[in-house]
Amino acid sequence: MADYERALHVEGRRQLGLFALEGFRLIERALATSTPLTHVLCHESAPRDPSPRLQKILQQLEQQKQSVVSVPDSIMEKLLEGRTLGPVLALAKIPTAPDLEKLCSHRPADISTKFLVLDEMMDPGNVGALLRTAHAMGIEALIALGGTDPFHPRAARTSMGSIFRVPILRLPTLEPLLTLFHQYDIFTIGATSDAPTLLPHASIPKKTVALFVGNEGKGLSPSVRSALDLLVAIPMSNTIDSFSINAATAITLYALNHPNRDALP
């Protein structure tokens, strides 16, 4: 249990190389993707719990010879903090980061957005929601810049299991990413509400695309904005100044992947 509590914090995750999973859905989807689990905790009354989902999870864990530690219900309630996702917790290994150069060099058959880059996104709930959006849109990798933390417990919960499906790369700085994007002629686009080019009018070349999304309050950092090939904004009502970050990203990804115009050569 001590390791689980350590993994709730960024330094603990770094030291352990593990991240925390909570509830039925995440454990089910971890098992479905053969994600290695190192610890599983369940409430002490689990053998008498009538939940079919819990019993099926416990059966799968037994088949995989994964030990389950029984913890007092009071401790489980403390760890769950009132959330009702299911009284089962686990730790999973943080996956090995993908080879970025290999991803860059592989060319998709069609025009598509291949990378979603999150620039210093601080709200783990938003990071998890964008992992789910990236999964739904077929993004090949999510790149987390700076302090963006995709393995925060809330990011994992909000991803609804997409954290097991989308390759994730964390980079402390922008420079190595831009070097490879330039080397492999990947077109970089930033989504920002004050961009002069509206998304429906943007001319996107027939190239692999990387979409950059910025911090919830400050948007894209100046260094990122100045380095990108194009900045776009989504038209909206003049009585509001922005979409939610997840809505804006979903709209932009859909528009980039389903252009209704002839792309430039």
Instruction: Report the alpha-carbon distance of residue 261 to residue 144 in Å, rounded.
Output: 31
pLDDT tens, 123-155? 999 999 999 999 999 999 999 999 999 999 999
According to DSSP H, which parts of 106-244 are helical?
124-136, 153-158, 175-183, 222-227
**181 and 202 inside one domain:** yes
- If asked whether residues 193 and 66 sit together in one domain, one would say no
Distance CA(58)–CA(12), nearest Å, equals 27
Q: Which domain holds residue 153?
A: 100-257
pLDDT, average across residues 105-114: 69
Domain-embedded: residue 239: yes
Assess if residue 214 is contained within a domain: yes
Q: Let me know whether 123 and 153 are in one domain.
A: yes
- pLDDT band, residue 264 (cuts 50/70/90): very low
DSSP 151: T
Average pLDDT value for the chain: 91
Residues 59 and 89 in one domain: yes
Q: Considering its fold, how many domains does the chain have in total?
A: 2
Does residue 178 share a domain with residue 65? no
| Domain at 67, CATH number | 3.30.1330.30
pTM assigned to the model:
0.91
Of the chain, the percentage scoring pLDDT greater than 90 comes to 78
Quick one: 87 and 116 in the same domain? no
Q: Are residues 28 and 139 in the same domain?
A: no
Question: Where among 54, 77, 93 does a domain terminate?
Answer: 93
For residue 211, being part of any structural domain is answered with yes
Does one domain contain both 218 and 87?
no
Q: Among residues 189, 179, 234, which one has the least CA distance to residue 214? A: 189
264 within domain boundaries: no
Residue that finishes a domain, picked among 93, 111, 142: 93
Quick check: is 265 in a domain? no
What are 9-13's contacts with CB under 8 Å, separation 24+?
A: 10/149, 10/152, 13/94, 13/151
116 and 49 assigned to the same domain: no
Across 46-54, average pLDDT: 83
120 in any annotated domain: yes
Q: 147 and 222 in one domain?
A: yes
Q: Is the pLDDT of residue 242 over 70?
A: yes
The predicted-structure confidence for 60-85, as pLDDT tens digits, reads as follows 999 999 999 999 989 999 999 999 99
Question: Does the residue 119 lie in any domain?
Answer: yes
Are the C-beta atoms of residues 127 and 118 closer than 8 Å to each other?
yes
What local confidence, expressed as pLDDT, does residue 263 receive?
44
User: Do 156 and 52 reside in the same domain of the chain?
Assistant: no
- Statement to judge: residues 113 and 220 lie in one domain: yes
DSSP state of 96: P
User: Which of 34, 61, 93 finishes a domain?
Assistant: 93
